[in-house]
Amino acid sequence: MLSLSSAIELVQPNRIRFGRGTVGEVGAWLRERAIARVLVVTDVFNAKRVDVLGLDGMVTIAGELAGEPDTADLDRIIALAENVAPEAVVGFGGGSAMDLAKLAAVLPGSGQKLADVVGPERVGRKGAVLVQVPTTAGTGSEVGTRALVTDRATAAKLAVQSLHMLADLAVVDPDVALGMPRAITVATGVDALAHCVEAFTNRKAHPTVDLYALEGIRLVGHWLPRAAIDLDDPEARAGMALASLYGGYCLGPVNTSAGHAVAYPLGTRFHVAHGAANALVFPHTLAFNAPAVADKTALVLTALGLPAASDPDTVFAAAHRWCHDLGCEMRLSAYGVTDKDLPVMAQEAHAIRRLLDNNPRDLTREDILAIYRRAL
């Protein structure tokens, strides 16, 4: 683990607006800057309510997104953006829409293609003002510099990271998530939790980020069960929007670790929603890591409102029950995964070094396989 004096770099969007009713300010903010040509990157559901952003002028909506973005989705949006030449790109949706918005703000007209910018800081410039408006409480992508796109050919997640993809304005309006179905509320909420937990127990963990991580875990423990029961509770939505934002603060400087790596093949191979995949994996990696980060694991449990523990069996049982009681699907077989799928999934997860190298305890391919077998 790093010490108090370890180096870290913290970046945030120039401006973050948080609170009920802020979503309608996006249009006015753009008009103040004399921006009239806007591309909204969104999904099928949110495309129907783009009017809440208060935009006028030349608004083009790229709203065909369904599920996690792949290279075909990106190609379509880049082609549209090259045609429209927007002065501003607005990401309006979950992580998928916001990640594609990041790329749509930097790639069109740059001469760079996706393959040129995969990795850290390879993007040449920002071509449009970027506004991010999350509609779920989980991803934290609105405050981040990273975009993930699945390569259709290889099923691998390609990660682009660039300061040019940082939002000029992030608008977090908790009311946007009011009425979101329970399954999405829970899955995205556990994703926010996973961001905080994986940063908190990370090999690169840092006190400046632990602050947000631990408070984010506490917020999820307090508000997610309530948000899952009453889908129209504005206070619970606000608590979760804040938790998601704090999770986003964790992603940039520290990032996730084994939980996300082990969850990725579920998304890329079986199209399990990102949050649902993370919920399924969460108790397994928390318990696996417990011997390496015993004190922090106990703090995770108490922040969630559970009894302190650090022995793997107790940690697993408590975290599994917590996810299960929220209504998360905790079995791989429910998603059509069979025993013969597991070795290739383990191989793929094990290859995600950018995340596994952050994990406080080394995971072999066999360790990952054992986790999948236990979750089958």
**Nearest distance from C-beta of residue 260 to Fe ion, angstroms:** 6
**Nearest distance from C-beta of residue 139 to Fe ion, angstroms:** 6
Chain positions 188 to 217 lying near Fe ion, rule: CB under 5 A, are 191
**Nearest distance from C-beta of residue 264 to Fe ion, angstroms:** 10
State the binding string over 244-263 for Fe ion (x if CB under 5 A, else -): --------------------
Give CA–CA dist 366/285, Å, rounded. 14
**Nearest distance from C-beta of residue 256 to Fe ion, angstroms:** 6
142 binds Fe ion (CB under 5 A): no
Which residue number has the CB closest to Fe ion? 191
The DSSP H or E segment spanning 241 is: helix 234-251
Closer CB to Fe ion, residue 127 or residue 275? Answer: 275
Nearest to 206 by CA among 281, 267, 296: 296
Helix (H, G, I), strand (E, B) or coil at 244: helix
The residue with tokens 């992030």 is 170
**How many CB atoms within 10 Å of residue 140?**
28
Give CA–CA dist 58/54, Å, rounded. 13
State the binding string over 287-306 for Fe ion (x if CB under 5 A, else -): --------------------
* 335 φψ region: left (φ > 0), alpha (ψ -120 to 50), beta (else): alpha
**How many CB atoms within 10 Å of residue 294?**
15
Closer CB to Fe ion, residue 68 or residue 191? Answer: 191
State the binding string over 164-193 for Fe ion (x if CB under 5 A, else -): ---------------------------x--
Give CA–CA dist 268/149, Å, rounded. 10
Closer CB to Fe ion, residue 191 or residue 210? Answer: 191
Write out the residues near Fe ion by the rule CB under 5 A. 191
